[in-house]
Amino acid sequence: MSKDIGGNTYELSYLKKAGIRFDLNMVDSIYQKGLGLNFFLLSILCMLLIFIKDSAFIHAIFDNSSYYLIFIFSLFIYLLIQLFKYLYFYYLRKRLRNDINPIIVEAYAIVIVSKIKDKKLSLNKEKSVVLYKECGTDKPRFFTSAIKPFCDIDFNYEQIARVFIDRNNMKNYSIDDETDLATISKKKKRFFKEAVLNAHTKVDVDRDTTNN
């Protein structure tokens, strides 16, 4: 497939070949997805099986009561793991967003992260992210929005956003692309980017002066 699917949209495999490396934003992806419909359906199933454990229906399915207990226990452990995973990323996201020194980034492209099986079909259901590039540096880092279906991606080229990164584990980060900083006018965004670049330049000049 062509590198440009249309409108600054690329496949993940192409960007890897081009040398652009980044970790997908799992913190926001899991937070926004929530526990999901499957979690609640399986919870209902688990409670239902416990409620009717002495019924003829259960005895017909599970010849041995041990199989029934193993099934219920396995289902309960699975639900517990899913709940723990969601709560872990929920509180991690909350903690990361308390950082007073976020990384300033700008929207760079849309990336299709799922493998496209048929190039002729619509991309609407393909898993995608907005790729953000760090501002004010010659060696920018790249970050992504939460993983969403392509049809739900809201892409605004050079949109300014903030990244809150886990200093202990750089793979974990949360991106704020929904606040006033992300929706300011193009004129203000240009001014803000210039201010960031000037700040970095000033730091470099100060360092050179100090060294001399």
Look at residue 6 in the predicted model and tell me its pLDDT. 58
Q: Output the tens digit of pLDDT for each of the chain's 212 residues.
A: 444 455 688 888 888 888 888 999 999 999 998 888 888 888 888 787 777 666 665 665 666 666 677 777 888 889 999 999 999 999 999 999 999 889 999 998 899 887 655 555 556 678 899 999 999 888 899 999 999 888 878 788 778 999 999 989 999 999 998 765 544 444 444 544 454 444 444 434 344 444 55
Look at residue 50 in the predicted model and tell me its pLDDT. 73
How far apart are alpha carbons 205 and 147 in whole angstroms? 39
Look at residue 46 in the predicted model and tell me its pLDDT. 79
Look at residue 209 in the predicted model and tell me its pLDDT. 45
How far apart are alpha carbons 141 and 169 in whole angstroms? 15
Look at residue 210 in the predicted model and tell me its pLDDT. 46
3-state SS string for the chain: CCCCCCCCEEEHHHHHHCCCCCCCCHHHHHHHHCCHHHHHHHHHHHHHHHHCCCCHHHHHHCCCHHHHHHHHHHHHHHHHHHHHHHHHHHHHHHHHCCCCCCEEEEEEEEEECCCCCCCCCCCCCCEEEEEEEECCCCCCCEEECCCEEHHHCCCCCCCEEEEEECCCCCCCEEEECCCHHHHCCHHHHHHHHHHHHHHHHHHHHHHHHHHC
Partners of residue 133 on adjacent β-strands: 106, 142
Q: What is the pTM of this model?
A: 0.71
Look at residue 199 in the predicted model and tell me its pLDDT. 43
Q: Sign (positive/negative) of CA torsion 106, 122, 116, 173? A: positive
